[in-house]
Structure 1
């Protein structure tokens, strides 16, 4: 980053992505999908384990312990921290050429790199949680849905039981600690991926 890029950025700021803290997971419910993800995650975990196990100058149980710790640390970081670059500001030609007038594109490309690097770890963590929810060891987080879907699925005149469904209505106003620059719809879009979400549904109980 040059002083010229810094000066131009102050004069004409461009959007920069963020690193989001993730504590939620909506589990897959299809047995076929869960089994496929578990198999793929097992293969990926074996590959991740082999790299430090093969290259670290350790032997025996020490190599196994250190390699296992590295894999668990990587998977944990990948699940809890999600780099979210602003893909509209990656530089010129989609990020192939650096923007000489701004430094924000450098940050977004860095976030994009880490987003891809942590991708396998997020997949492994999600597969573990999917399997745990499928076996009944853990519960999935509620699924965001629109008011229209809620009325159609859970409030029909007749024919659908809601005995096993629990729901919570999202707050009408921005929650404390949220970004004051975002509207309620924008906050729901960022957190739940659905701007029109009004209810959180959980029918796994």
Structure 2
């Protein structure tokens, strides 16, 4: 990163990813999938808890408290914040070489890095919520179906339904002429507000 990249970015901005703030979780319904996820998450948690416990130069109980606090903060941040990199702007050669004229590719690579770093914590958090929903301690967020998403976007109430909708067939032009008793020229004048209908076909001529 450099000031030159920053100034070039101001002149020619490139797409950058974002960080999603996540507060929802759709629980896994299969008990067997939750079981295998629980085994994998337990191994991840053991490693996440054991590494700081082993390397911290503190008594065992203090190292345990620090490790537990670190694990809780990491898992919470991994669930709440989900980095999304814009993979169309990763630098030259697919991100292997830095773009010296833009700084946005550095940000996208950083977002991808943090997405990978927070991935295990996000998996552990999701597994914990799956187990809680399976035991009835928590409730899963519903899966938004297209009809519900449409109702939410249009601002319709929850009782909105198209089950009782009816279709009305508009009368044809010939039926309108017959019922009105007017010529086509007069109907077009009334419909379109034309003061002269000389450019329209007149059936009376």
TM-score, L = length of structure 1: 0.72
1:83-102 matches, within 5 Å, as 83-102=83-102
Residues 19, 94 of structure 1: CA spacing in aligned structure 2 closer, same or farther, 3 A cutoff?
Answer: same
Corresponding residue number in structure 1 for 2:18: 18
Distance, in Å, in 1 between the alignment partners of 2:91 and 2:70 is 33
Q: Offset at 1:168? A: 9.5
Residues 72, 144 of structure 1: CA spacing in aligned structure 2 closer, same or farther, 3 A cutoff?
Answer: same
Q: Offset at 1:144? A: 1.7
Q: Secondary structure at the match of 2:111?
A: helix
Corresponding residue number in structure 2 for 1:54: 54
Q: Secondary structure at the match of 2:19?
A: strand
Q: Secondary structure at the match of 1:20?
A: strand
Distance, in Å, in 1 between the alignment partners of 2:142 and 2:24 is 9
Q: Secondary structure at the match of 1:170?
A: helix
Q: Count the aligned residue pairs.
A: 155
Distance, in Å, in 2 between the alignment partners of 1:117 and 1:25 is 20
1:112-151 matches, within 5 Å, as 112-147=112-147
Matched, 1:169 2:151: yes
Corresponding residue number in structure 2 for 1:190: none
Provide, for residues 94-150 of structure 1, a one-character-per-residue CA deviation record: whole Å limited to 9, x for no partner: 100111110000000001100000000000000000010111110001102223xx7
Residues 106, 53 of structure 1: CA spacing in aligned structure 2 closer, same or farther, 3 A cutoff?
Answer: same
Distance, in Å, in 1 between the alignment partners of 2:41 and 2:122 is 10
In structure 2, the gaps of 5 or more residues are 156-205
- Deviation >2 Å, runs of 4+: 1-4
Contact 2:53 2:60 in 1 (8 A): no
Q: Secondary structure at the match of 2:100?
A: coil
Q: Offset at 1:12? A: 1.2
Corresponding residue number in structure 2 for 1:199: none
Q: Secondary structure at the match of 1:171?
A: helix
Q: Offset at 1:21? A: 0.9
CA RMSD of aligned residues (A): 1.7
Corresponding residue number in structure 2 for 1:31: 31
Distance, in Å, in 1 between the alignment partners of 2:128 and 2:52 is 21
Normalized per residue, the structure richer in strand is 1
Which of these two proteins has the greater Rg computed from alpha carbons? 2
Q: Secondary structure at the match of 2:15?
A: coil
